[in-house]
């Protein structure tokens, strides 16, 4: 079947099987920043934004996103021009092995896009579907607060 | 023999979806949370109703009408739902899975698939809500009790689709409470409980529901009848619970049934005497 979808602002068309999940399609098409973790919807490593809301692509039927806007980590900043979230995660040491980081960044982006000044409870709730087994979350939460401040200041 | 091509179909109307679902080997999906875990070899057609089932939240003085495609995450975000009916629906919804999964799970799917640990049904039972379904041009309305009396996914006729949930808006003097018991916030519930009753010295218009420890969500009607009109007194409540709370047989790898039954008694007492507890605090 043909899947027409907008990924990171570009119209794309892929051949997909009706039984495929979005994660497998994205990785096959080169979006390898979308990580294959638990494949059960638990860990959030595969998280992407669909119409600006966070979803786990490992449990999402690929065809269900037909006609929608998908944002993967590849659509957030570039290696030479990091998004403020990516830069702040690095500055605050909120990245260790980095496997969970793409999903974390997208979860935080979804939060800050609708709430520019979240409190700590709101940050924890927004990240309740993203597991990190390295950093222990303290630095991640600190980075989110710092990024929120920066984004408010520059109106990003 | 030529292998039949599997199809993924977006119907254009609910009536068309109903007709498609009457075929053989058809899988219906709305949010699609369980899609990955189904044996898709058994299905030749996947019918995605997400573009045709209603996803509106309509609220007036008397009732809240939630479309079956409303995602669980929206139940938490909607300010009115956090306030009306003591915010019981939002409270129950907050226990469901995690942010990305709540963005995917739909109200209709959650009510129909009815996993034992599902958090919403006890609230829906004490809210005295109704569930409206459609099947082609026909419409059916179930009370929440009838809907959950047997497994909804088996009860619904071929082609029958949950369209909306209708919830009465209760007066401000009607207290509605939801409690859950699990190991961590993200864990599946071991016990879910909800109660509704009027504020005051005696129990009035009392409704109690329990799930997770039971195979299906149920009202505790014998207990409701015994306590109706009684004073909100600890001894009265404890005695009534001892007399009427069934001995549930459900257990899992986390808890044995004896432990769960003891916890259920304490939870229920606290739920029914919450006014006393809040006064103490």
Q: Are residues B117 and B200 in the same domain?
A: no
Mean pLDDT of B89-116: 94
Q: Are residues B182 and B270 in the same domain?
A: yes
Q: Are residues B158 and B215 in the same domain?
A: no
The interface predicted TM-score (ipTM) is 0.95
Q: Are residues B43 and B66 in the same domain?
A: no
Q: Are residues B95 and B188 in the same domain?
A: no
Asked, for residue B184, whether it belongs to a domain, the answer is: yes
- Among A10-24, B78-92, B246-260, whose mean pLDDT is lowest? B246-260
pLDDT at B3 over 60: no
Q: Are residues B155 and B64 in the same domain?
A: yes
Q: What CATH number should be reported for the domain holding residue B115?
A: 3.30.465.10
Q: Tens digit of pLDDT for each residue in A81-92?
A: 999 999 999 999
Q: Which of B117, B134, B168 is the last residue of a domain?
A: B168
Asked, for residue B279, whether it belongs to a domain, the answer is: no
Contacts of B8 in chain A (CB under 8 A): 1, 18, 61, 63
Q: Are residues B163 and B90 in the same domain?
A: yes
Q: State the residue range of the domain holding B195.
A: 178-274
Confidence of residue B130 (pLDDT cuts 50, 70, 90): very high
Mean pLDDT of B261-272: 96
Q: Are residues B100 and B141 in the same domain?
A: yes
Q: Are residues B184 and B267 in the same domain?
A: yes
Mean pLDDT of B122-129: 98
Chain B interface with A: residues with Cβ < 8 Å: 6-8, 10, 29, 32-33, 35-36, 40, 46, 48, 50, 73, 97-101, 103-104, 185-186
pLDDT at B262 over 70: yes
Asked, for residue B173, whether it belongs to a domain, the answer is: no
Q: Are A102 and A19 in contact (CB under 8 A)?
A: no
* From B7, B8, B99, residue closest to A126, measured CB to CB: B99
Asked, for residue B114, whether it belongs to a domain, the answer is: yes
Count how many Cα atoms sit within 13 Å of the Cα of residue B21 in the half-sphere of its side chain. 26
Mean pLDDT of B37-61: 94
Q: Are residues B14 and B97 in the same domain?
A: no
Partner-chain contact A64 B32, CB within 8 Å = yes
pLDDT at B190 over 90: yes
Mean pLDDT of A115-134: 95
Q: Are B134 and B18 in contact (CB under 8 A)?
A: yes
pLDDT at B144 over 70: yes
User: What SS3 state is found at B197?
Assistant: strand
Quote the number of domains for chain B: 3
Mean pLDDT of B13-36: 94
Mean pLDDT of A104-115: 97
pLDDT at B4 over 80: no
Contacts of A41 in chain B (CB under 8 A): 33, 36, 97, 100-101, 104
pLDDT at B1 over 60: no
Q: Are residues B183 and B162 in the same domain?
A: no
Compute the mean pLDDT over every residue in chain B, rounded to the nearest whole number.
93
Q: Are residues B221 and B123 in the same domain?
A: no
Mean pLDDT of B215-219: 95
Q: Tens digit of pLDDT for each residue in A26-83?
A: 999 999 999 999 999 999 999 999 999 999 999 999 999 999 999 999 999 998 999 9
pLDDT at B137 over 80: yes
pLDDT, residue B5, reads 75
Rounded to whole angstroms, how far apart are CA atoms B123 and B194? 6
Q: Which of B137, B168, B199 is the last residue of a domain?
A: B168
Contacts of B113 in chain A (CB under 8 A): none
Using alpha carbons, list the distances in angstroms from residue A96 to A89, A135, A142. 10, 6, 15
Contacts of A128 in chain B (CB under 8 A): 98-99, 185-186
Asked, for residue B21, whether it belongs to a domain, the answer is: yes
Asked, for residue B280, whether it belongs to a domain, the answer is: no
* From B99, B101, B103, residue closest to A125, measured CB to CB: B99
Q: Which of B121, B138, B168 is the last residue of a domain?
A: B168
DSSP state of B35: G
Rounded to whole angstroms, how far apart are CA atoms B143 and B38? 29
Confidence of residue B175 (pLDDT cuts 50, 70, 90): very high
Asked, for residue B135, whether it belongs to a domain, the answer is: yes
Contacts of B104 in chain A (CB under 8 A): 41, 55-56, 59-60
* CA of A37 vs chain B CAs: smallest distance (Å): 14
Confidence of residue A144 (pLDDT cuts 50, 70, 90): very high
Asked, for residue B281, whether it belongs to a domain, the answer is: no
pLDDT, residue B281, reads 47
Partner-chain contact A63 B48, CB within 8 Å = yes
pLDDT, residue B2, reads 47
User: What SS3 state is found at A30?
Assistant: coil
Environment class of A89 (CB within 10 Å of its CB; exposed 0-12, middle 13-18, buried 19+): buried
Mean pLDDT of B25-35: 93
Q: What CATH number should be reported for the domain holding residue B226?
A: 3.30.390.50
């Amino acid at each position: 079947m043909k899947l027409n979808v907008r990924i990171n602002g570009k119209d794309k068309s892929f051949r997909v099987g009706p039984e495929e999940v979005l994660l497998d399609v994205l990785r096959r098409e080169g979006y390898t920043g979308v990580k294959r973790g638990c494949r059960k919807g638990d860990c959030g490593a595969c998280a992407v934004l669909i119409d600006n809301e966070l979803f786990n692509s490992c449990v999402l039927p690929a065809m269900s996103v037909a006609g929608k806007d998908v944002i993967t980590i590849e659509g957030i900043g570039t290696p030479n021009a990091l998004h403020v979230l990516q830069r702040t995660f690095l500055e605050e040491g909120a990245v260790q092995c980095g496997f969970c980081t793409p999903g974390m960044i997208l979860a935080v982006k979804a939060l800050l896009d609708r709430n520019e000044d979240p409190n700590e409870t709101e940050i924890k709730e927004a990240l309740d579907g993203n597991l990190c087994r390295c950093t222990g979350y303290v630095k991640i939460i600190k980075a989110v607060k710092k990024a929120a401040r920066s984004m408010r200041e520059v109106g990003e | 023999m030529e292998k039949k091509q599997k199809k993924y179909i977006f119907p254009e109307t609910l009536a068309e979806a109903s007709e498609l679902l009457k075929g053989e080997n058809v899988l219906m999906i709305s949010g699609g949370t369980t899609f990955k875990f189904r044996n898709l070899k058994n299905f030749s057609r996947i019918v995605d109703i997400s573009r045709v089932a209603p996803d509106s939240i309509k609220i007036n003085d008397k009732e809240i009408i939630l479309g079956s495609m409303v995602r669980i995450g929206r139940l938490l975000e909607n300010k009115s739902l956090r306030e009306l009916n003591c915010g019981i629906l939002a409270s129950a919804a907050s226990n469901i899975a995690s942010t990305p999964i709540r963005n995917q799970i739909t109200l209709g799917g959650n009510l129909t698939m009815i996993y034992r640990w599902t958090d919403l049904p006890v609230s829906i039972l004490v809210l005295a809500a109704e569930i409206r379904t459609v099947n082609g041009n026909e419409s059916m309305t179930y009370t929440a009790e009838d809907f959950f009396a047997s497994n909804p996914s088996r009860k619904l006729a071929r082609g029958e689709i949950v369209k909306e949930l209708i919830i009465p808006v209760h007066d401000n003097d009607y207290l509605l409470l939801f409690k859950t018991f699990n190991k961590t916030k993200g864990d599946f519930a071991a016990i879910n409980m909800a109660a509704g009753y009027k504020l005051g010295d005696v129990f009035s218009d009392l409704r109690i529901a329990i799930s997770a420890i039971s195979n299906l969500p149920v009202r505790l009607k014998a207990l409701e009848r015994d306590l109706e009109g009684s004073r909100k007194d600890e001894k009265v409540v404890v005695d009534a619970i001892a007399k009427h709370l069934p001995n549930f047989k459900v257990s899992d790898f986390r808890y044995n049934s004896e432990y769960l039954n003891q916890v259920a008694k304490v939870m229920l007492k606290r739920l029914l005497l919450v006014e006393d507890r809040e006064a103490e605090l």
